[in-house]
């Protein structure tokens, strides 16, 4: 199975920060990476598809990038509503696999 190694597991952040979360794939997954935002008690919300494409309704301060087997989600000028858990997913190959998640917390 493909492993998605996500880092960091948690991050203490301030409003206005630029935040970057990374997932490293254990083998080639091409562009088939999702990023999800999840708030307490809610279902995950897709933020990014195909590694770099913004999902409908997602603010432009979110962006996705790829460098080799490393996939990153960047939030520019963090707002309070962005404080949440974030998860990556590879959907190139079955079984699909998620990263372990990143929890953003306000300082």
Partner 1 sequence: QVQLKESGPGLVQPSQTLSLTCTVSGFSLTSNSVHWVRQPPGKGLEWVGAIWSGGSTDYNSALKSRLSISRDTSKSQVFLKMNSLQTEDTAIYFCTRSSYTTGLGYWGQGVMVTVSS
Q: Footprint of partner 1 on this chain (CB under 8 A)? A: 1, 32-34, 36, 38, 43-46, 49-50, 53, 55, 87, 89, 91, 94-101
Give min distance, CB of 37 to partner 1, in A.
12
> Which residues sit opposite 75 in a β-bridge?
19, 62
43 or 80: whose CB is closer to partner 1? 43
Give min distance, CB of 76 to partner 1, in A.
23
19 or 36: whose CB is closer to partner 1? 36
For the record, the structure tokens of 22 come out as: 């990374």
Residue 3, CB half-sphere, CA atoms under 13 Å: how many? 4
The C-alpha angle 14, 80, 63, rounded to 5 degrees, equals 85
34 or 63: whose CB is closer to partner 1? 34
100 or 106: whose CB is closer to partner 1? 100
DSSP 60-107: TTEEEEEETTEEEEEESS--GGG-SEEEEEE-SSSSPEE---EEEEE-
Give min distance, CB of 81 to partner 1, in A.
19
């Amino acid at each position: 199975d493909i492993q998605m190694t996500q880092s960091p597991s948690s991050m203490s952040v301030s409003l206005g920060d630029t935040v970057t979360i990374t997932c490293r794939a254990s083998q080639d997954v091409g562009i088939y990476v999702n990023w999800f935002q999840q708030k307490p008690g809610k279902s995950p919300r897709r933020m990014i598809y195909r590694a770099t494409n913004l999902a409908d309704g997602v603010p432009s301060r979110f962006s996705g990038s790829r460098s080799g087997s490393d996939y990153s989600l960047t939030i520019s000028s963090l707002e309070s509503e962005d404080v949440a858990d974030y998860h990556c997913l590879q959907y190139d190959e079955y079984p699909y696999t998620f990263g372990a998640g990143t929890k953003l917390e306000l300082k």
